[in-house]
Structure 1
Amino acid sequence: MVGDISLSVLFAPVLFGILIFLKAWGLAFTAVVLFILVNHRRVYIILKTLPRDLRFLYRMSQMKIQSNYFKNNDLSVAGVFAETLIKNPNRVCFYFENDVWRATEVEAYSNRVAQVFLKAGYKKGDVVSLLMNNRPEYACIWLGLSKIGVITALINTNLQKKTLLHCLNTAQTKGLIFTDQFISVVKEIEDDLLASLELYQLFGTQSNTFKRRLYDLTKLIEEASSDPFNITDKPGYRDHLLYIFTSGTTGLPKAAVMPNSRYLLAALAATCLLKLTEKDIIYNPLPMYHTAGGALGIGAAFIHDTSVVLRPKFSASSYFTDCIKYKCTIGQYIGEMCRYILATPAKPSDNQHTLRLMVGNGLNAAIWHRFVQRFKIPQITEVYGATEGNVNICNLDNTVGAIGCLPRCLPQSVFPIAIIRINHETGDPVRNNRGLCERCDLDEAGMLIGIIRQNDPTRQFHGYVDSESSRKKIIMNVFKPGDKAFVSGDIVVMNELGYVFFKDRTGDTFRWKGENVSTNEVEAVISSVLGLKDCTVYGVQIGDMEGKAGMVAIADPENQIDFNTLANGLDQELPSYARPLFIRILESVELTGTFKLKKVDLQAEGFNPERIKDALYFRKNKTFVPLTTELYSSILEGKERL
Structure 2
Amino acid sequence: MYRFTKLNMLLWWWEKHNMTIPKVFSELVKKHPDKVAFYFNKQQWTFAKVEELSNSVAHYFKSVGVKRGQTVALFMESRPEYVCIWLGLSKIGVATALINSNLRQTPLVHSIRVANSRAIIFDSELANELLMVRDDVRDLPLYQYTSGSIDKTLHPDVIDLLPALTSSPSGPLFEDLSESSYRDNVLYIFTSGTTGMPKAAVITHLRYMFISMGVHFMLKVYKNDIIYTPLPLYHTAGGMVGVGQVLLRGATVAIRSRFSASNFWTDCISYNCTVAQYIGEICRYVLSVPVHPRERQHKVRLMFGNGLRPQIWEKFVTRFGIKQIGEFYGATEGNSNLVNIDSTVGAVGFVPCYAGNLYPVGLIQVEEMTGEPLRGKNGLCVRCKPGEPGIFVGKINPKKVVSSFTGYADQMESKKKIIRNVFAHGDQVFNTDVEGRVLMKKTLRILFERSRGIWTNNIKMGGWQIDSEVVNSIEVPHVEGRAGMAAIVDTDNTLNLATFVKGVQENLPSYARPLFIRVLSQLQMTGTFKLKKLDLQVEGFNPHQIKDKLFFLSGGQYVPLTGKLYEDIMNGRTRL
Using the TM superposition, give the Cα deviation of residue 589 of structure 1 relative to its aligned residue in structure 2, in angstroms.
Answer: 4.3
Distance 1:101 1:74 in 2: 28
Distance 1:562 1:640 in 2: 25
Asked whether the equivalents of residues 121 and 144 of structure 2 are also in contact (C-alpha less than 8 Å), the reply is yes
Verify: 1:537 aligned to 2:537, yes or no: no
Worse-matched range after superposition: 117-126 or 593-602: 593-602
- Mapping 1:235-634, distance limit 5 Å: 235-247=180-192, 250-408=195-353, 410=354, 412=356, 415-497=359-441, 498-505=446-453, 509=455, 519-521=456-458, 524-526=459-461, 529-530=463-464, 533=467, 535-543=469-477, 548-556=482-490, 561-586=495-520, 588-589=521-522, 596-634=530-568
SS at match of 2:375: coil
CA RMSD of aligned residues (A): 2.1
Using the TM superposition, give the Cα deviation of residue 633 of structure 1 relative to its aligned residue in structure 2, in angstroms.
Answer: 4.3
Point out the structure with max Rg over C-alpha: 1
Using the TM superposition, give the Cα deviation of residue 623 of structure 1 relative to its aligned residue in structure 2, in angstroms.
Answer: 1.1
Distance 1:62 1:176 in 2: 39
Cα deviation per residue 1:176-216 (whole Å; 9 max; x = unaligned)?
A: 00000111111111111252x11000113210213441010
Using the TM superposition, give the Cα deviation of residue 229 of structure 1 relative to its aligned residue in structure 2, in angstroms.
Answer: 2.5
Task: Give the AA of the match of 2:499.
Answer: T
Distance 1:362 1:294 in 2: 17
> TM-score w.r.t. structure 1 length?
0.85
Asked whether the equivalents of residues 128 and 175 of structure 1 are also in contact (C-alpha less than 8 Å), the reply is yes
Task: Give the AA of the match of 1:224.
Answer: S
Distance 1:593 1:191 in 2: 44
SS at match of 2:294: helix
Higher helix share: 1
Residues 194/438 of structure 1: CA separation in 2 closer, same or farther (3 Å cut): farther
Task: Give the AA of the match of 1:500.
Answer: F
Q: 1:101 is matched with which residue?
A: 45
Distance 2:110 2:352 in 1: 41
Verify: 1:69 aligned to 2:13, yes or no: yes
Asked whether the equivalents of residues 230 and 259 of structure 2 are also in contact (C-alpha less than 8 Å), the reply is yes
Q: 1:180 is matched with which residue?
A: 124
Asked whether the equivalents of residues 188 and 201 of structure 2 are also in contact (C-alpha less than 8 Å), the reply is yes
Using the TM superposition, give the Cα deviation of residue 236 of structure 1 relative to its aligned residue in structure 2, in angstroms.
Answer: 1.8
Distance 2:477 2:311 in 1: 10
Residues 323/568 of structure 1: CA separation in 2 closer, same or farther (3 Å cut): same
Verify: 1:78 aligned to 2:13, yes or no: no
Q: 2:100 aligns with which of 147, 152, 156?
A: 156
Q: Which has the higher contact order (CA 8 A, sep 6+)?
A: 1
Q: 1:131 aligns with which of 53, 63, 75?
A: 75
> TM-score w.r.t. structure 2 length?
0.94
Task: Give the AA of the match of 2:163.
Answer: K
Worse-matched range after superposition: 263-272 or 588-597: 588-597
Percent identical among aligned pairs is: 43
Using the TM superposition, give the Cα deviation of residue 630 of structure 1 relative to its aligned residue in structure 2, in angstroms.
Answer: 4.1
Asked whether the equivalents of residues 477 and 572 of structure 2 are also in contact (C-alpha less than 8 Å), the reply is no
Q: 2:111 is matched with which residue?
A: 167
SS at match of 1:327: coil
Cα deviation per residue 1:49-106 (whole Å; 9 max; x = unaligned)?
A: xxxxxxxx11111111111111011011000001111222211110001000110000
Residues 240/530 of structure 1: CA separation in 2 closer, same or farther (3 Å cut): closer
Using the TM superposition, give the Cα deviation of residue 412 of structure 1 relative to its aligned residue in structure 2, in angstroms.
Answer: 4.9
Verify: 1:200 aligned to 2:143, yes or no: yes
Q: Unmatched 5+ residue regions in structure 1?
A: 1-56, 510-518
Task: Give the AA of the match of 1:520.
Answer: N
Residues 389/297 of structure 1: CA separation in 2 closer, same or farther (3 Å cut): same
Asked whether the equivalents of residues 457 and 469 of structure 2 are also in contact (C-alpha less than 8 Å), the reply is no
Using the TM superposition, give the Cα deviation of residue 628 of structure 1 relative to its aligned residue in structure 2, in angstroms.
Answer: 3.1
Distance 1:537 1:592 in 2: 15
Distance 2:216 2:39 in 1: 19
Residues 529/551 of structure 1: CA separation in 2 closer, same or farther (3 Å cut): farther
Distance 1:557 1:387 in 2: 38
Q: Unmatched 5+ residue regions in structure 2?
A: none
Using the TM superposition, give the Cα deviation of residue 545 of structure 1 relative to its aligned residue in structure 2, in angstroms.
Answer: 5.0
Distance 1:154 1:558 in 2: 40
Distance 1:411 1:333 in 2: 29
Task: Give the AA of the match of 1:353.
Answer: H
SS at match of 2:552: strand
Distance 1:219 1:429 in 2: 56
Worse-matched range after superposition: 423-432 or 305-314: 423-432
SS at match of 2:451: strand
Using the TM superposition, give the Cα deviation of residue 249 of structure 1 relative to its aligned residue in structure 2, in angstroms.
Answer: 8.0
Task: Give the AA of the match of 1:382.
Answer: E
Distance 2:64 2:357 in 1: 52
Using the TM superposition, give the Cα deviation of residue 406 of structure 1 relative to its aligned residue in structure 2, in angstroms.
Answer: 1.7
Using the TM superposition, give the Cα deviation of residue 458 of structure 1 relative to its aligned residue in structure 2, in angstroms.
Answer: 0.9
Residues 601/548 of structure 1: CA separation in 2 closer, same or farther (3 Å cut): same
Distance 1:365 1:270 in 2: 21
SS at match of 2:393: strand
Question: Alignment length, in residue pairs?
Answer: 569
Asked whether the equivalents of residues 359 and 402 of structure 2 are also in contact (C-alpha less than 8 Å), the reply is no
Asked whether the equivalents of residues 175 and 198 of structure 1 are also in contact (C-alpha less than 8 Å), the reply is yes
Task: Give the AA of the match of 1:455.
Answer: K
Distance 2:196 2:297 in 1: 45
Distance 2:572 2:60 in 1: 50
SS at match of 2:246: helix
